[in-house]
Copies of this chain bind each other. A is one copy, B any other.
């Protein structure tokens, strides 16, 4: 028993807006144990909408449609639903009264154009819109319950919470899907696949899936159960096992980031950090301070883009730059050590490299970066070869993530 979601709007099919309604609805459905078999996005075209509805009801028990209920001529979903139902539209008095009241409450008279929003297909029932003008529509088509909701997210969500979800509950399907998200760093998707092969076999409950986004690989554990507790129990077992197998490669849950993980460790240990950045030019400091309360451990950053700045702000010897180049192990080390000394922070991270697109050489192609980490008793330097095909943005993003992970691992070592 699956659901299908239909999003309507030419602005969506042309890609001028990102559809956030479908994912939100899919999550709500999952929360009450209804798996979504797929989403379809169609333009404001009466035939296309009708066809999408008709093909969705073939295998879905629930079809949730959003969009195309506005008062303008390009809003055709009401008509298309009537077509799919093989019925005509009628003016629903109660809905019209509510729309008129909506305007009256705002000391306005209803524009004639809004009257069409009270048109409902014969045999369907309106769903009250408590924060807008367009009522939703509920209809039965073949074996499916069809819900037509406004495209405006706030109106759609209010209507879903108030009318749709309760009616879904009453379908008697009590199974729930719960999800847990783990973020990993330092293993490839293939490595993860090998370490977790048995947990990722198809049809298993929970399901374990991976998705990669610029070096961070996220694991999604979805557990199905008769009750929330049952589902949570299954998930917890997997999460514990995955954490055991992956160890330090797991850096967080849910919405955690590497900066968040570093912040927690610094906070726990009462330590501080400062950064010296050339190629990342502020991004490392920015990421560390994305975390609310970062002022407890983040002291300062020196964005030494020009060589003169490296010398003046960080006492990097001009001869060192002369001898090895600004992008070198030696300069990265000097930046980290001096940043730590000058700032008085317990740890200092440094980054110098070639973000591109220009500035590469055979010896040091674009994507060559040197990272430094100065700690109380030691300094580490790491050479990165991120690959000359990455964009400037990617080189900088990955550099920062690898630097944050260096500090994270160092802090974990300290913890023992």
Chain A interface residues (CB < 8 Å from chain B): 9-20, 22-30, 35-44, 48, 52, 70-74, 102, 105-107, 111-114, 130-131, 151-154, 158, 177, 179, 181, 188-194, 197, 200-202, 207, 209-214, 220, 222, 275, 277, 280-286, 288-290, 292-295, 298-306, 308-309, 313, 343-344, 356-358, 385, 387, 389-394, 396
The quantity of this chain's copies bound in the complex is 2
Shortest distance from the beta carbon of A2 to any chain B beta carbon, whole Å: 9
Tell whether, in the assembled complex, residue A10 and residue B300 are in contact, meaning their CB atoms are under 8 Å apart: no
**Contact across chains for A15 and B10 when beta carbons are under 8 A apart:** no
4 nearest CB pairs, A to B? A15-B26, A282-B282, A301-B303, A282-B285
**Are A179 and B16 neighbours in the complex by a CB distance under 8 Å?**
yes
Check A18–B16 contact: CB distance below 8 A. no
A302 proximity list for chain B (CB < 8 A): 300-303, 313
Contact B40 A13 (CB under 8 A): no
CB distance from A107 to the nearest CB of B (A): 7
Complex Cα gap A212–B343 (Å) = 40
Known contacts A282-B282, A357-B292; A16/B194 CB under 8 A = no
Answer whether A70 and B189 are a contact pair too, CB < 8 Å, given A27-B14, A41-B39, A299-B305.
yes
- Max chain B Cβ within 10 angstroms of own Cβ: one of A30, A70, A293, A357: A70
Contacts of A22 in B (CB 8 A): 15, 41
Q: Is the CB of A282 within 8 A of B303?
A: yes
CB-CB under 8 A for A283 and B281, given A39-B40, A73-B202, A214-B154: no
Residue of B nearest to A313 (CB): B300
Task: State in angstroms the CA–CA spacing of A260 and B63 once bound together.
Answer: 40
Contacting A358 at CB < 8 Å: which of B194, B202, B293, B387? B293
- Within 8 Å CB of A301, what residues of B? 281-282, 301-303, 305
Instruction: With both chains docked as a complex, state the minimum distance between the C-beta of A50 and any C-beta of chain B, in angstroms.
Output: 13
Is B209 a contact partner of A111 (Cβ separation < 8 A)?
no
Given contacts A9-B211, A39-B41, A295-B306, 7 further A-B contacts (CB under 8 A): A10-B209, A18-B18, A38-B42, A70-B212, A72-B193, A153-B213, A286-B286
Residues of B within 8 A of A152 (CB): 212-214
A394 to B153, CA, bound (A): 11
Contact B292 A299 (CB under 8 A): no
Asked, given contacts A48-B37, A48-B38, A105-B385, whether A188 binds B283 with beta carbons under 8 Å apart, the answer is: no
Given contacts A299-B306, A309-B299, A385-B107, contact A209 B15 (CB under 8 A): no
